[in-house]
Amino acid sequence: MNVRPSATSEWPLAQRLAEGFASVLSPNFVLEQLEKHPASIFGLLPDGRLAYVNPAWARFARENGAHVADAPSAWLGQRYLDVIAEPLKPFYAQLFERAPKEGTAMHPVSHVYECSTADIFRQFVMKVYALPKDEGFVVINSLIASRPHDASKGEPQPPNTALYQSTDGLILQCSHCRMVRRADKTRWDWVPAWVEQMPAGTSHGICDVCFEYYYPDDENW
Ligand SMILES: [Zn+2]
């Protein structure tokens, strides 16, 4: 049975590490160091299923997502791409495909992404390391920016459902920057209340600005 730890304790390693994955990590990664690392780190099997999360990842997930109330042992075995919003899936899938194989490059694939809260603009860099012999991946997510939101998202708007809800009842939020599209499709607005708590009927898309960032070469998206 999984027991939810108190705010100050950590999930035990046995709940965060799939059997056999420790030996896959070595010698490229030292488990002890991943455990102490301040960045959110996870490990994937070759088929993209979660095989390891470090305490910083578990902490971050617990602090930031209502959908991760379960113990990490419930996340192990889940496919990482399943938690990525639909419009970004192809991008993340190719990130793993592009991760250099052992001996082919010194640098991992890296990608900067936003994971802001209602009040704080946060940016992370994700580095994807392919493990030797195609045995999986280690992904390190480091915080590179954290500051109150500036004017780049425009004036914060109140959560006015009438302005944003389409005729089929859906509210479209950008998967990346979390701006919300007006029902008349004229613009995307920053609505902090809906970052704090997504309204019922939220669906995920990708705004024009983020689309350019994720799919610069794709004109037919
Ligand atoms: Zn966006």
Instruction: Looking at the structure, tell me whether residues 73 and 119 fall in a common domain.
Output: yes
Instruction: Looking at the structure, tell me whether residues 78 and 129 fall in a common domain.
Output: yes
Separation of 207 CA from ligand 1 center, angstroms?
4
Separation of 49 CA from ligand 1 center, angstroms?
27
The predicted pLDDT at position 61 comes to: 82
Instruction: Looking at the structure, tell me whether residues 40 and 143 fall in a common domain.
Output: yes
Report how far residue 170's alpha carbon sits from residue 29's, in angstroms, rounded to the nearest whole number.
44
Separation of 178 CA from ligand 1 center, angstroms?
6
Separation of 24 CA from ligand 1 center, angstroms?
36
Longest dimension (CA), the chain: 56
The predicted pLDDT at position 65 comes to: 64
The predicted pLDDT at position 29 comes to: 93
Report how far residue 42's alpha carbon sits from residue 54's, in angstroms, rounded to the nearest whole number.
6
The CATH number given to whatever domain includes residue 36 is 3.30.450.20
Considering the domain boundaries, does residue 6 fall inside one?
no
**How many domains does the chain contain in total?**
2
Query: Helices (H) and strands (E) in the chain — how many of each?
Result: 8, 9
Whole-number Cα distances in Å, 192 to 58, 120, 121, 174, 204: 25, 10, 11, 13, 16
pLDDT along the chain (221 residues), means of 10: 49 91 92 96 96 92 64 84 92 93 80 93 95 94 95 93 94 95 96 92 93 79 44
Mean pLDDT in the chain?
88
- Sheet bearing 109-114, strands edge to edge: 50-53, 40-44, 137-148, 120-130, 109-114
Separation of 221 CA from ligand 1 center, angstroms?
15
The predicted pLDDT at position 75 comes to: 83
Residue 119 belongs to what domain range? 13-148
Mapped onto helix, strand or coil, the DSSP state of residue 74 is: helix
Instruction: Looking at the structure, tell me whether residues 131 and 193 fall in a common domain.
Output: no
